[in-house]
Structure 1
Amino acid sequence: MDAVSSPPRLTTFVARGGEAIAFELAPGDRCRILDPEGRQPGLLFVAGEGAVDAGLLPAEGDGPEAAAARAALAARGADVSRLAGFRLFAEDSAPGAELSFVAQGAAVVALAPAGAAMDPDQQTPPTELKVEIETSRPAAGLAPEPLAAPKLDLRVKAATAEAYRVKAGDYIQIIDVDGKQCSDFLAFDAAALERGKEFGLDPTVTRTLMGTANPGPGLHSKYFDARMTPLVEIVRDTVGRHDAFLLACSAKYYEDMGYPGHDNCTDNFNRALKPYGIEPRAGWPAINFFFNTVVGPDDAIGMDEPWSRPGDYVLLRALTDLVCASSSCADDIDVANAWAPTDIHVRVYDASEHFSKGIAHRMTPDAEPRLTRESGFHPRTSALTRKFVEYRGFWLADCYSDEGPIAEYWACREHAAIMDLSPLRKFEVLGPDAEALMQLAVTRDMKKLAVGQVVYTAMCYAHGGMIDDGTVFRLGEHNFRWICGDDYCGVHLRNLAAEHGLKAWVKTSTDQLHNVAVQGPRSRDILKEIVVTPPHQPSMAELKWFRFTIGKVAGVPVVVSRTGYTGELGYEVWCHPDQAPAVWDAIMAAGEPHGLKPLGLKALDMVRIEAGLAFAGYEFCDQTDPFEAGIGFAVPANKTDAYVGAEALKRRREAPSKKLVGLDVTGAEHVGHGDSVHVGRAQVGVITSATRSPILGKTIALARLDVTYAEPGAAVEIGKLDGQQKRIPATVVGFPHFDPEKTRVRA
């Protein structure tokens, strides 16, 4: 009988705009290169005699893209003295354009999207090219490339465990080789073990000190022993779904399930740790990496298949000398390891290495992961605080170290504040049908939008639920910029263009366009000193609300819009991230006499709630429409052209069931997002956002209520504990709570 051949394996890579990647091809591999967004030429360089012969156009190798490709090849050890170069895609290639070839021989290949840094008034961002390699090489057991030169390279075979030593400061990478495989992790203070004392990871201490049951990356994501001594911290996490501290699987679990004598992680750990004098246990409390624990609304613990994919990993840093143990979970009787245990790989890197902190962000479930990144302003903000949080794939300051969020708040209300808002997603929409595409995609009438004007609008699904809110800039007759919070908006716009046969391109420019907001009563005085505009563009003194101008700050090209998220007179300054520090320095220097302070997310939340401004995941989601989100003004009743969600929104406007309202809350007890709102025993709504307002001297909230109780003056109660045992009185009021006539923002 002939042997059954295994199906080809598909491997994907992404070359991001402005970067180059290198990868290997074996004879017979089919390589497909895609231009997902269109209008993105690329350069392909091949180190391998005659390995690629696909009728591709030859290319010279003397530009910056070629230099980046050569560097990527050299890092792989390839001979770059003789390379074959090819040009990929045209300047006007369609979204989704692709080309493919079959490798004639072994080769190391580098791919570089073409394109220079984009000025903020341009629409030429270099965007990603995607590589798909279909190969007959074995699919299983291949660990990804090391992050650096490893001190330890250890394979933990399926259904086994291994113990190993790690020095203080060294990094530990736990890799799921083939995906969907759980790995339990233990760590002990090595010096204490030598004294005959066991101090390992303690779940109760860790949960108490961290105030959370689930691990997260960053400076404060640490695991402690019973002495409250930190043993490890999380540096990177490409999965984002783990169990923090349940027991590793044990003999009892399998016995109870009817499998006596089954291999288990606890017994495997006991054997691996015996040489270190560690007492065996019946069940080890462990960090259960990649284990998909589900805690239901009734607090019952369940599980499902892991989220991890081949090559996903967690990177930790040892905070003292450690004895560690890692397992490949032996569970093959349920979904914990997708029914088939596979290998785990452990690498240890020297303390002298440097790895950025981050978690993986995926735009869509099938997208390549991207670790949390720093904005162009990070070199300046990081000098002022260590209090960063992960926000939509970026590190942003939660607050600043010198005075804290209350002082930042008052600076914004009384003087001026500057904040990094670079995580906003930016999309360049251009082409002869750009207006038609935006008219179809958003609720506002794009035909009424003049060049130089900005408009706030909603983007909805067909059922009326919101995808996102954002602003549209009109840069030209056929040129728009959509600025929002969700990466998926770009996918949605491209899908709409394809479905309706529109000739329009949607190019992602987030990595080419970073921004700070300068907000507060003195913001105009600060910026008019440093923003230089040409005669045909409005000056800062002339710039009207929801308009933008093009100019320079300290010689750096910028776009300045009179927009913001604070309810104050304010502006946003947009520039290329490479030039962001110079823009920050100029604004800070000009702002010092005016009391300018940096402002973090905590203070921003206070001012935006006072101003009644919607926040994704709080005031709106795909189950709420713009009227329920409090932004019904962004859905004009007289827009005649059809758009996505128009019919559903017409029905919802005529027969609303819920309404966003303001609440004045009695007393000073904490009220937060998700708290229930009651009239009598019945729940009639939910708190979407709440804060203690410094300027109003009281607790205020935004809440989505049944329309029966949404009129100003209605008395409601906010439920605490189970919603019934404790109630906080509140009164329905209009919103915004602060400056309801928007006199300050219009000043």
Structure 2
Amino acid sequence: MTAIGMGPRLRLPGLLPREEGLETYLVRAGGVTAVRLDGGDRLTVIDLAGRQPAELTVVAAGGANGSAIGISADAPASTLRRLAAGAHPGAGAETILAALAAGGVNPEHARAVQLFGEYSPAGARETFTASQPAQILVAAPGRVMRVDEQAANPPSELLLEVRRAVTRPAAEPHLPEPLADPVLDLRIDAATARDYQVKAGQYIQVIDIEGRQCSDFLAFGAHQLDSGIERGLDSTTTRYFMGNAYPQPGLFGKFYDQDAQPLVEIVRDTVGRHDTFGLACNAKYYEDFGYPGHVNCTDNFNARLAQYGIAARKGWPALNLFYNTAFDDANLLVFDEPWSRPGDYVLMRAMTDLVCASSACPDDIDPANAWVPTDVHIRVYDAERKFSMAISHRVTPESEATLTKKTAFAPRTSALTRQQTEYRGYWLPTSFDGHGPQAEYWACRERAAVMDLSPLRKFEVLGPDAEALLQRCVTRNIRKLSTGQVVYSAMCNETGGMIDDCTVFRLADTNFRFVGGDEYDGVWLREQAERAGLDRVWVKHSTDQLHNIAVQGPASRELLRELIWTPPTQPAFMDLTWFRFAIGRLGDHNGIPLLVSRTGYSGELGYELWVHPKDGPALWDAVWAAGEPHGLLPLGLDALDMLRIESGLVFAGYDFSDQTDPFEAGIGFTVPLKSKEDDFVGREALLSRKAHPQRSLVGLELAGNEPAQHGDCVHVGRSQVGVVTSATRSPVLRKNIALCRMAVQYAELGTEVEVGKLDGHQKRIPARVVRFPFYDPDKLRPRS
């Protein structure tokens, strides 16, 4: 991105347009997006992943009029008709139907032109030029993907690019649509503050309109103020009870006053990174910087709060939304531009009647507001409204943000526990009420346990070039993979660093299912296909079409034997061997379709069951009923961590990253450099790194009863020789154990080392290098 007469510009995804006059819009799978064109404007419809049909309906003068962009509608607009039938209720549907009604088009009889086909390549595009003003409705029709389909093609997204014939003047900042009908809609002009009152249970939405703008938030108990007592948000009390530095939906979302009474709870956060409690900017800050008399948030707050009898302060401790501060390695407080994008928001729920105040920070002398203060918007919603608890995620900085979702099994697991955490874009249980991690762990080791693993990212890799793409992208030899077989592999970048670990299922000669932990895996696979010129392969995201539970433990086979029916063309359930799968039904040939694989993440005999989300509750109920005689328990993430560390199973972000190669991550067995003759991404780097190893993953057994933690340094004498990647107290071994990335000079079994605490020197825990996996090192139990 360059400008005439200038050097390269800063890359700020979400803030700078990629091209003058270019607008982009996303059409979600199964959804509809409307764009307005004027004469001369060009619309390009792009099939991002390939094999995704598009339906274009044109509304112009006189009603449906495809000639406005040079097309003739030749087929029913199936998605619009389903919308009219109530298939997709919601504010978005109402907007689309209103656009049709305004143009005099009956959605029940709407027609469209169909673009792309069953085998359109990834990136296929069609461009149209408007001859007159028109409203274009673009749909990405989709249907339920069946687990037992031979050539599954899940619906995917379309991208719309609009290039304007006449460059439009800079538009007013776009304010996001309300989440519901607001009871208060309040604009806070730049460099000002406003006060407002909120009733218990109501929701407060603080919106950063243009992005990179801080907003301080104050809240006081209204009933205490009526009695002459001032009780507001208190940083010390909040941090003590929450143990978390930043506002975050879920377990760490409540904010307290000095009397330890909760005032607000964070419900949604589309940014995920804020300072929690610093002083609102104040006169002294600007004076010390050389700007006496500068407008500031503290003085603005004092002026607004005086009417409530709240005493003025020199600096208000506030909830600093969208403010980006941190402590660096030298414990110095540093800050930079906020992470927030235009339209980002934080949604809070009032725990009691409140007097609130919010600011649009006036700071223009440093990066706090990206140097240019802008407006903030406040909306308050009725207590009767219900909003999902969520955090926002982007796969890449340029991607659309998505909110945390619930899995297909959430209706069942949430009835068993309130201990939920945000995990890779989904809510998952950490432990279950009435059981707890230890009981859940022992159920898996001794009997059976069921866990929700739906956040695993699934991608259908389809087409004549599917095998060639996977052979290029993963370290295992995919050409040797048989239909019905699963293989565990690493996927590396050009330096040999691990992008992810994964399992690959071969469904047929040209059909594979890639299962990894990260949404980015699909982006990487598509990039590699394009780079290699493999134009007969499609990578289709299928996570929303496949959710899965794992049934693990010694009794898992007996528990499931009466539940899983397979046709004669598939292996019988009882004949499934390790890392094999079968496609069948639940109960009998009339049951819901499912895929069962003999895989897991516990180190025990176990299976994973994969179904469409609509069938999730039925599958859970069947497994739960069948498991009762076997002492089946649900299993959360806390117990799973104990199980997988004991079994030496690595975890992304802890035991490996893109700075770690598979040998350093302890999964060198996934890199058959001698037997895999085909080239693959990272091969040359891995040859060099294997020949000259610097670190390896080892097991540590710690003395005493104090556990290690992820990130603890490991020493021999004064020198650091390793770092703890994962650690736990092993119930079955009754010892503290850890996985450690160790310098190869100290990786021999029996080597004595010390795990450093505090600064790594003032406190040391003796440890020694031991064989891992710690539990069942020969993996006899999952093979049984």
TM-score computed with the length of structure 1 as normaliser = 0.96
| Cα offset, 1:402, TM superposition | 1.6
For 2:672, the equivalent position in structure 1 comes to: 636
1:230 is aligned, of 243, 253, 262, to 262
Are 2:103 and 1:67 aligned? no
Cα distance in 2 for partners of 1:268, 1:51 equals 55
| Cα offset, 1:67, TM superposition | 1.4
1:621 is aligned, of 657, 666, 669, to 657
2:567 is aligned, of 523, 527, 534, to 534
Instruction: Decide whether aligned partners of structure 1 residues 69 and 444 sit closer, same or farther in structure 2, where only a CA change above 3 A counts.
Output: farther
Q: Is the 1:68–1:112 contact (alpha carbons within 8 Å) kept by the matching residues of 2?
A: no
1:431 is aligned, of 443, 452, 463, to 463
| Cα offset, 1:299, TM superposition | 1.4
Q: Is the 1:9–1:137 contact (alpha carbons within 8 Å) kept by the matching residues of 2?
A: no
Are 2:711 and 1:674 aligned? yes
Q: Which amino acid aligns with 2:266?
A: I
- Deviation per residue, 1:533-571 (Å, 9 max, x gap): 001111111001101100011411001110000000011
Are 2:91 and 1:54 aligned? no
2:753 match: secondary structure: strand
Q: Is the 2:57–2:73 contact (alpha carbons within 8 Å) kept by the matching residues of 1?
A: no
Pairing of 1:34-113 with structure 2 (within 5 A)? 34-49=46-61, 53-56=68-71, 58-61=73-76, 63=78, 66-68=81-83, 72-75=92-95, 77-80=98-101, 81-82=105-106, 83=110, 85-101=112-128, 109-113=136-140
- Deviation per residue, 1:220-242 (Å, 9 max, x gap): 41110001110000011111111
Q: Which amino acid aligns with 1:115?
A: G
Which stretch shows the higher mean deviation, 404-413 or 133-142?
133-142
Q: Is the 1:73–1:110 contact (alpha carbons within 8 Å) kept by the matching residues of 2?
A: no
- Deviation per residue, 1:418-448 (Å, 9 max, x gap): 1000000011111111111111001011110
1:712 is aligned, of 733, 743, 749, to 749
Cα distance in 2 for partners of 1:520, 1:73 equals 46
1:78 match: secondary structure: helix
Cα distance in 1 for partners of 2:474, 2:72 equals 40
Q: Which amino acid aligns with 1:78?
A: A
Q: Is the 1:409–1:599 contact (alpha carbons within 8 Å) kept by the matching residues of 2?
A: yes
- Deviation per residue, 1:393-426 (Å, 9 max, x gap): 0000111112111110000000111100000001
Q: Which amino acid aligns with 1:576?
A: H
Cα distance in 1 for partners of 2:81, 2:500 equals 38
Q: Is the 1:51–1:106 contact (alpha carbons within 8 Å) kept by the matching residues of 2?
A: no
Cα distance in 2 for partners of 1:596, 1:118 equals 30
Cα distance in 1 for partners of 2:100, 2:520 equals 40
Q: Which amino acid aligns with 1:465?
A: G
Q: Is the 2:79–2:139 contact (alpha carbons within 8 Å) kept by the matching residues of 1?
A: no
Cα distance in 2 for partners of 1:351, 1:103 equals 46
Q: Which amino acid aligns with 1:627?
A: F
Are 2:764 and 1:727 aligned? yes
| Cα offset, 1:212, TM superposition | 1.5
Q: Is the 1:676–1:683 contact (alpha carbons within 8 Å) kept by the matching residues of 2?
A: yes
Cα distance in 2 for partners of 1:133, 1:285 equals 45
| Cα offset, 1:87, TM superposition | 2.1
For 1:129, the equivalent position in structure 2 comes to: 158
Instruction: Decide whether aligned partners of structure 1 residues 337 and 99 sit closer, same or farther in structure 2, where only a CA change above 3 A counts.
Output: farther
TM-score computed with the length of structure 2 as normaliser = 0.92
2:45 is aligned, of 18, 28, 33, to 33
Q: Is the 2:70–2:129 contact (alpha carbons within 8 Å) kept by the matching residues of 1?
A: no
Instruction: Decide whether aligned partners of structure 1 residues 152 and 117 sit closer, same or farther in structure 2, where only a CA change above 3 A counts.
Output: same
1:559 match: secondary structure: strand
Cα distance in 2 for partners of 1:605, 1:57 equals 58
- Deviation per residue, 1:264-319 (Å, 9 max, x gap): 11111111222222211111111111111132111111111111111111111111
Q: Which amino acid aligns with 2:142?
A: G
- Deviation per residue, 1:194-220 (Å, 9 max, x gap): 111111100110011101111111254
2:714 match: secondary structure: strand
2:146 is aligned, of 110, 119, 122, to 119
| Cα offset, 1:112, TM superposition | 2.7
2:370 is aligned, of 329, 334, 338, to 338
Cα distance in 1 for partners of 2:133, 2:170 equals 16
Q: Which amino acid aligns with 2:623?
A: I
2:780 match: secondary structure: coil
Cα distance in 1 for partners of 2:690, 2:288 equals 56
For 1:280, the equivalent position in structure 2 comes to: 312
Q: Which runs of 5+ in 1 are unaligned?
A: 1-5
| Cα offset, 1:63, TM superposition | 3.4
- Deviation per residue, 1:53-73 (Å, 9 max, x gap): 323452544635631377645
1:626 match: secondary structure: coil
Pairing of 1:50-449 with structure 2 (within 5 A)? 53-56=68-71, 58-61=73-76, 63=78, 66-68=81-83, 72-75=92-95, 77-80=98-101, 81-82=105-106, 83=110, 85-101=112-128, 109-122=136-149, 123-133=152-162, 136=168, 138-449=170-481
For 1:551, the equivalent position in structure 2 comes to: 584
Cα distance in 2 for partners of 1:337, 1:166 equals 27
Are 2:774 and 1:737 aligned? yes
- Deviation per residue, 1:589-626 (Å, 9 max, x gap): 11111111110000000000000001001110011100
Pairing of 1:600-615 with structure 2 (within 5 A)? 600-615=636-651
Cα distance in 1 for partners of 2:189, 2:131 equals 35
Q: Is the 2:203–2:382 contact (alpha carbons within 8 Å) kept by the matching residues of 1?
A: yes
Cα distance in 1 for partners of 2:542, 2:260 equals 45
Q: Which amino acid aligns with 2:27?
A: A
- Deviation per residue, 1:223-264 (Å, 9 max, x gap): 100011100000111111110001111111111111111111
Pairing of 1:457-496 with structure 2 (within 5 A)? 457-496=489-528
1:58 match: secondary structure: coil
Q: Is the 1:57–1:88 contact (alpha carbons within 8 Å) kept by the matching residues of 2?
A: no
Cα distance in 2 for partners of 1:248, 1:694 equals 48
Cα distance in 1 for partners of 2:299, 2:657 equals 46
Q: Which amino acid aligns with 1:533?
A: T
For 1:450, the equivalent position in structure 2 comes to: 482
| Cα offset, 1:322, TM superposition | 0.7
Cα distance in 1 for partners of 2:95, 2:698 equals 58
Quote the RMSD (CA, aligned, Å). Answer: 1.9
- The count of residues paired between Structure 1 and Structure 2 equals 742
2:704 match: secondary structure: coil
2:616 is aligned, of 580, 594, 597, to 580
Cα distance in 1 for partners of 2:54, 2:355 equals 48
Q: How many percent identity over aligned positions? A: 58
Instruction: Decide whether aligned partners of structure 1 residues 713 and 138 sit closer, same or farther in structure 2, where only a CA change above 3 A counts.
Output: same
Q: Is the 2:711–2:725 contact (alpha carbons within 8 Å) kept by the matching residues of 1?
A: yes
1:246 match: secondary structure: strand
1:541 match: secondary structure: helix
1:671 match: secondary structure: coil
Q: Which amino acid aligns with 1:476?
A: A
Cα distance in 1 for partners of 2:207, 2:35 equals 20
Q: Which runs of 5+ in 2 are unaligned?
A: 1-16, 87-91
Instruction: Decide whether aligned partners of structure 1 residues 253 and 69 sit closer, same or farther in structure 2, where only a CA change above 3 A counts.
Output: farther
| Cα offset, 1:120, TM superposition | 1.6
Instruction: Decide whether aligned partners of structure 1 residues 270 and 104 sit closer, same or farther in structure 2, where only a CA change above 3 A counts.
Output: farther
| Cα offset, 1:85, TM superposition | 2.7
